[in-house]
């Protein structure tokens, strides 16, 4: 496919490096230097407008600030282009609703960038649970955080009109999506608190959530940008096993899955450790799933409906519903 990327920052570059056999044909960014740098590196054309880019490609990656995600995705959908839009896909649930109806009308595939689902430890955990021996999931407990950087409180993520919120809408959305994906049900009860404890900014730097399904499964989640040593910890408690995922590679540490299988007599569990020290292939695997969905017309793993479900939780915690 001929791919266009709108937004040539860090995530846009990650997407450009993860296209497999597809070709980056065109790029656009309001920062012309960023667009030119990516174009020069990839052999793509740096376009002067989004309209020009859309005329040259089969599908589009939208990797911009949050305020532009929904409008640009809608523009691409209305141009009959398949789309990968980075999470959270919008600033609130209300902005997402027109995208769902437009995508159905246009008959295009829209994938939301929930790349964490495609990390190898996540995929292995999903396979173990799907195997049936672990039994039903009882609850999830997860923490995800980083420590920011000098000037973090003056970046676009600290401006609510651009970001739609703080740490809850940033890393918290990944935790919400993963929890919902693993428990396999909607969260019907949402309680939480988004607070600003350290950074001098009008958005939250910590978010605490307790989410409950209709059958009583619970997800207890904490997202933070006052985590002075980067942390990712995701624990899944099933009736007959615990699965614990630590690290995401890089500054978060080696990605590891610990599988604790309960014995019939209980006591210390049988323990199997899987480690994934290699490069982060989640972006490439997510792109492959996007292409699969286009070919089969099936849902991609992480789509607009999933984004709407996650954003509905965010809105509830922020008191926007």
Give the tens place of pLDDT for each residue, 77-110.
Answer: 999 999 999 999 999 999 999 999 999 999 999 9
The whole-number average pLDDT for the span 48-75 is 98
- pLDDT given for residue 281 in this prediction: 95
Q: Is the pLDDT of residue 321 over 80?
A: no
The whole-number average pLDDT for the span 231-258 is 98
CATH superfamily for 120-279 is Dihydrodipicolinate Reductase; domain 2 (3.30.360.10)
Cα(70)–Cα(86) distance, integer angstroms: 10
> What's the pTM value of the predicted model, to 2 decimals?
0.97
- Domain ranges in the chain are 2-114, 120-279
Q: What pLDDT digit, counting tens, does each position of 175-199 carry?
A: 999 999 999 999 999 999 999 999 9
- 2-114: CATH number: 3.40.50.720
* Alpha helix ranges (H) inside the chain: 10-16, 32-42, 50-54, 66-78, 93-106, 120-130, 160-163, 167-170, 172-183, 282-296, 304-318
Cα(195)–Cα(199) distance, integer angstroms: 10
pLDDT band of 312, cuts 50, 70, 90: very high
- pLDDT given for residue 283 in this prediction: 97
Query: What is the DSSP secondary structure assignment for residue 146, as one 8-state letter?
Result: -
φ/ψ of 23, rounded to 5, equals -115, 130
Q: How far is CA 242 from CA 144, 184, 208, 261, 269, in A?
A: 19, 17, 22, 7, 9
The whole-number average pLDDT for the span 163-179 is 98
- pLDDT given for residue 212 in this prediction: 98
- pLDDT given for residue 194 in this prediction: 98
Question: Helices 172-183 and 304-318 sit at what angle, rounded to 10 degrees?
Answer: 120
- pLDDT given for residue 291 in this prediction: 97
């Amino acid at each position: 496919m001929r791919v266009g990327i709108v937004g040539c920052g860090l995530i846009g570059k990650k997407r450009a490096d993860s296209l497999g056999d597809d070709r980056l044909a065109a790029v656009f960014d309001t920062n012309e230097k960023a667009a030119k740098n990516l174009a020069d590196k990839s052999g793509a054309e740096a376009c002067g407008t989004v309209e020009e880019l859309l005329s040259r490609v089969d599908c589009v990656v939208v990797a911009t600030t949050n305020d532009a995600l929904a409008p640009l995705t809608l523009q691409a959908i209305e141009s009959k282009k398949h789309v990968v839009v980075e999470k959270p896909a919008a600033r609130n649930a209300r902005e997402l609703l027109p995208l769902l109806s437009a995508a159905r009308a246009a008959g295009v595939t829209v994938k939301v960038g929930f790349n964490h689902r495609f990390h190898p430890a996540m995929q292995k955990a999903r396979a173990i649970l799907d195997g049936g021996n672990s039994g039903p999931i009882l609850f999830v407990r997860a923490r995800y955080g980083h420590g920011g950087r000098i000037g973090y409180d003056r970046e676009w993520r600290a401006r609510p009109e651009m970001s739609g919120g703080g740490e809850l809408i940033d890393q918290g959305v990944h935790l919400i999506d993963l929890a919902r994906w693993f428990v396999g049900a909607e969260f019907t009860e949402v309680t939480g608190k988004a607070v600003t404890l350290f950074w001098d900014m009008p958005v939250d730097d910590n978010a605490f959530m307790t989410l409950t399904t209709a059958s009583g499964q619970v997800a207890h989640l904490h997202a933070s940008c006052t985590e002075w040593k980067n942390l990712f910890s995701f624990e899944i408690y099933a009736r007959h096993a615990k699965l614990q995922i630590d690290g995401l590679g890089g500054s978060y540490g080696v990605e590891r899955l610990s599988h604790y299988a309960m014995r019939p007599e209980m006591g210390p569990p049988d323990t199997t450790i899987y480690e994934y020290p290699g490069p982060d292939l989640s972006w490439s695997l997510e792109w492959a799933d996007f292409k699969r969905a286009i070919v089969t017309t099936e849902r991609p793993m992480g789509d607009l409906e999933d984004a709407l479900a996650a954003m509905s939780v965010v809105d509830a915690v922020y008191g926007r519903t």
